[in-house]
Every structure is written in structure tokens, then in C-alpha cells.
Amino acid sequence: MSAAGETIAGNLARIAERVERAARRAGRHTDEITLVGVSKTFPAESVRAAHAAGVRHFGENRVQEWEKKEPLVRDLQATWHLIGHLQSNKAARAARLFHTVDSVDSLALARKLESSLAESVGVSDAKRLGVLIEVRVAEAETRSGVSESEIVAIAEGILGLSHLDLRGLMCIPPYFDEPEAARPFFRKLRGLRDDLAKRIGRELPVLSMGMSHDFEVAIEEGATEVRLGTALFGMRAAKNVKGAA
Ligand SMILES: *Cc1c(COP(=O)(O)O)cnc(C)c1O
């Protein structure tokens, strides 16, 4: 194994222990929690090393970056998530390259994804794209995502789109030095998910919340997917840390 591969495998082992302890504190089972390795800015070899260590879900935040990497890892059995803001003009490419878009923030975008899937696949091809609605849990912050008041309308709209499979909600709370401070936002997303599921009469199994510095708190509050970049792959180079897909 390469040195980078050993580092990633070691990081994964430590993450697994922390996930396990957080789950135990909350009376949950670790098999309810999926680790999404956030490989943005890291090369295809890092994706490969994480896959070899057992990671099966990967998140990228830019369509263009993933278009370059994807051919190099296409042979791997994995679920590829888009987790960054998606511009409508890249919806068709995203719909083709990802299994799930975890950052849907408008019904217009959902319709764009739907129409590109409807056009590109034959009647017999049943590709359905998983989607999460990204919620802006801290209204004062300028993070992407929909406001709470828009969630129901967008969800109901998505339910009418036959190529999209609405699976749940996602959020990025504000960054706090003290991860405990993010707890109310995670709790809020869970409440919004529970309310929405009742309202639309349908299960919404996925709560994508928690990143490297706060995933344990997110797990205690019910996260089913934690998105880990730094904790798994190490520090990213300063540029391209955030940004649009
Ligand atoms: C980069 C990113 C992550 C991972 O961040 P880390 O703090 O490195 O774990 C998670 N979610 C989204 C949406 C991201 O853009």
C-alpha cells in the first residue's frame, strides 16, 4: 500500500471508532450511518485508496472537477454524490455522472435534472437520480440551501418528477470552533425531515449532516450520512475549498 493509502486507511479506522462511540451514545447502530468520503481537491488515487480501505460513497462539489476524475475511477463500485451547489446549466452533466444530488436548492433545478434524465435515457432504462433538499438551517448565514418555508413546496414538486427519488434533507450549519454549538441546527434539520415526511406521507430516510469537525454531534442528532473530507483524506490545499459545482 502507498503511504497515502496507509494514511487514509488509518484515518478511516479512527473515524469508524468515533462513529461507533457516537452511535452508541445515541443508542443507534453504526449500520444506520453512511460515511461519504469527500474527495474534492484530492486526486483519483485518493478515491481509489479510500475505496480499497472500504469507503463506498464519495462526495464531490464541482461537476467540472468530477468530470476529470470520474473516468479514472469508473471501474469502482461506489455511489457518487454531488454535494455542492449545482448551476442549472450543468444539470444534465451532473445527472449523467452522479447517482445522487444532495444539494438540490430549487424546484427549477429539480425540473432541469428531471428533463435531462427524461431526454437522455430510453424508456427501458430506469435510472432514477437520488436527491436531497439542502436546507439553509441558519437563515442569517449566506450559505446555500432553501429556507424552511420553501421545503414543502419543493418536496411536493419533486414527488411529481418520475426520474427523481427524494430521499431526505441535507444541511451545512455555520462553522463553530465548538462542535457542540452546531447541535441545535442538526436537531432542527431532523425535525424538519420528520415534519416533511408526515406532510407528504412518505418516508425520508436520509439526513445528510455532519462534517469532519462536528460529525459526532450530527450522529447523536440522527445523521444517516456524514460527509467527511479532512478527517479521511487530510487537509485540502487552500484553494477550491468551497465553491459552486
Ligand atoms: C467540503 C465539504 C464537506 C467536507 O468537509 P470537511 O470539513 O473536510 O469534512 C462536506 N460537505 C460539503 C457540502 C462540502 O463542500
Pocket test for ligand 1, best of 85, 211, 242 (most atoms within 8 A of CB): 211
- State how far the alpha carbon of 130 is from the alpha carbons of 83, 98, 136, 159, 174, in Å: 12, 9, 20, 12, 25
Task: Give the nearest ligand 1 atom to 84 CA.
Answer: 13
Q: Which residues of the chain have pLDDT under 50?
A: 124, 240-241
Pocket test for ligand 1, best of 227, 232, 236 (most atoms within 8 A of CB): 227
How confident is the model at residue 124, as a pLDDT?
47
Q: 81-103: buried (b, 16+ CB within 10 Å) or exposed (e) per residue?
A: bbbbbbeeebbbbbbbbbebbbb
pLDDT, tens digit, 9 for 90 and up, residues 90-146: 999 999 999 999 999 999 999 999 999 998 765 545 679 999 999 999 977 766 899
pTM of the model: 0.94
CA-nearest residue, atom 4 of ligand 1: 229
8 A C-beta contact, residue 62 and residue 72: no
DSSP-based three-state secondary structure for 25: helix
Task: Give the nearest ligand 1 atom to 236 CA.
Answer: 8
> In the structure, which protein residues have their CB atom closer than 6 angstroms to any atom of ligand 1?
38, 40, 61, 83-84, 172, 211-213, 227-231
